[in-house]
Amino acid sequence: MWNLSCDPEVFETALARDGAGLALVPPVVVAGELKRGQLVEYHRFSEIRESFYAISPSRQFPNPLVAELIEKAAETRRGAPKGNR
């Protein structure tokens, strides 16, 4: 039995690039295709927002740069930098 899976944004992008229609994907996903002229942005939906998350397993020796990135992201989500509370 086959077990196939596909990222919907990748699939939609490929179909649009091959002329099969339009795709609703974040511009960051198709930045290369837009820059090369393989795709054209027809409309930007300003009311649609997408969040991206970095997920990492716990490590015995954590990376200090990743820890700083996670702390900065948490501060941003809380609304104020650590020193300005």
Q: How far apart are CA 28 and CA 8, in angstroms?
A: 15
- pLDDT value of residue 75: 86
| Residue 85: pLDDT band with limits 50, 70, 90 | very low
Q: How far apart are CA 9 and CA 24, in angstroms?
A: 8
Q: Which residue would you say has higher pLDDT here, 2 or 69?
A: 69
- pLDDT value of residue 36: 94
Quick: pLDDT tens for 6-50: 778 888 888 899 999 888 888 888 899 999 999 999 998 888 777
What is the average pLDDT across 50-76? 80
Q: Could you state, in order of their start, the residue ranges of all structural domains in the chain?
A: 1-49, 53-85
Q: How far apart are CA 30 and CA 3, in angstroms?
A: 26
- pLDDT value of residue 80: 56
8 Å CB contact between 13 and 39: yes
